[in-house]
Structure 1
């Protein structure tokens, strides 16, 4: 069983190279409620990789004389290819992250590029491909998220020294790689009923909180900051925390104050992550919080953090967070561009927020989904039931809040979160959650074995610098 938001975790530095979860998967559109038919009713999720929209922020960099550093099955990898990938990682690294030394970073990047070439060649050999329409939809998605038309995005890329044709080819390749990895690596992971029984009976993860979705605001502290600078930033963090705790819109506080560009577009949210992958200070800060509450300010090497608990999955209490929502959907239509649909929904949102119309009224009048007669109501949904791009937007909302237009493979949506609640798991759901935890643990090892086998069978020639 493949979960649509799963990402192969090559190495920490390679996360920034993968396509965001909203662009991936091979789901067939369904009629009602945008449900993901392959998703389990409850499953811990792997956080999505950094969005490709960050590529639009990369400034064009002058390159030195180019030369080939490796050849993979007749496909060259050049010195400039490595330079560009290193620059992308450095530009998009999350605040406070520590990259390897430059020589080691280049070695790891070259290693990752070789693996990608090997895997792309294998994907083509087994008959996998990505249609032009899928690439078009992915690029429109990225443009809409950056509040740009397609032409505006192309001009921005040209100004930043990014070649649009190469960008499009790279995007197609990343979607192809994700499809290959999901198909072949997941098929290697076998989890038996006895494995699940043993996990539930003895594993500490089955007796405690297994997953958290946290959002944060980072108030940075510069390196070698003076005591006065630290005190000023701490005072600012406490002021922002008090605003958040008093009910101010957390998304707006993130946009105004947070220095973490990695999470800023998602309202500061990291997405559902295993507790083991979150900083200990974050986990400790929210241990006694209820969903929706804001923790006291905490300090890390990067600065001060204001942390909000968005949702939790807790095996010990056998509970998880459900969300009740409604939406207005304009389906993909060859007679109307995505940007035109985004503009239409933005105008509808303005009317709703301004009080001249209700969300339910607008949904009944304009939505092209089967939920329209019910005012766009989608009912209660468990983690993983909506496609990733929809769920990510929904999870970032506060109760009653309306999203900006959201592009998905179905069209463009306006989403409103009505309320959240904690729900007890059934025994079947608890076993499914355990299966997902075990699959998550085994994925990286299975991926590494698979990638190693493919590379061993490929022809790779390393070349020295001239």
Structure 2
């Protein structure tokens, strides 16, 4: 039985021994059902406490608890749906993969996992609970990426057209720090509902023009995915934004309020919080070779790591040949037959664990075994160069920008479809 579904547990021993004093002890409360899963009050409270703590640290004024609670429940409903999809797909995130992700996160912050743990526990949270949250985030990201990627097609003509536009621009392209508020309109809304939503959006714009804090208004009013983050979409160029946003933002100045913009999701309000320039120049490229071992039911995580550790020891002692080991053992079909070798490549195109490990090596150095989303690797840096890749970079960037734009649009559509197919009931 799903423990989350236990709302009240009677203390039977107390009932039998002392019937006058018998009572029911409330362990937790269900605030929403999502298909055969639930959202618990304790989970909502945890999010609320975190948002309040962050707001206090950032000196941000928050709306009422009722508004915050609605936002938190919506976030958790989507999370439960993703967890259910992952379970149906049989997707699991191993401890080794989780540890590698945490190590990368700690490294980005200039520390170690021990430092990260100390920071989490100093804030009053359980590090073990934090680990599980990160595991869930990785899983949700992989579920979303796997489902949405298949819906995206980018034609050579689209890339060529965007390249032409980029080439017509000056040496520096602009990026915008965007704040976003969505006043949602249901897909089956009638004209009266649409008009009511438009009026709410115009009221939000009125508040913003009066100087009210954007983050607070976003948390209180937005139905967008980043509502609890104050509607912060972060830095984006025109070409990375959804088309609707891109056309509205062109030519705008810092602090401009834009909207309401109508889409199938509802009415959007944007704020240009800042603008900066960006220029693509030279690229560092690396030539490398690696061996990939994928854990399985037969081969455990530990055995896969130990197997590669043995290879490293033999290679450093001159007892083995890297290319021969790769041909015999590597499970990367794209490189195994070539002795594990990758031609000159921009390392930033690799997954984070592979990228960071490769970039930390000296020429001809062989890494220790490390975990990525694909499995366990060892990698050797063969050579490094700085190359003028302007034309290739333009093509790569055009593809990347198109992919990001379509990924955002398709992610929203996909999530909306999943939500409409689910049976969700929020308990008042």
Q: TM-score, normalised by structure 2?
A: 0.47
Q: Which has the larger radius of gyration?
A: 2
Q: TM-score, normalised by structure 1?
A: 0.44
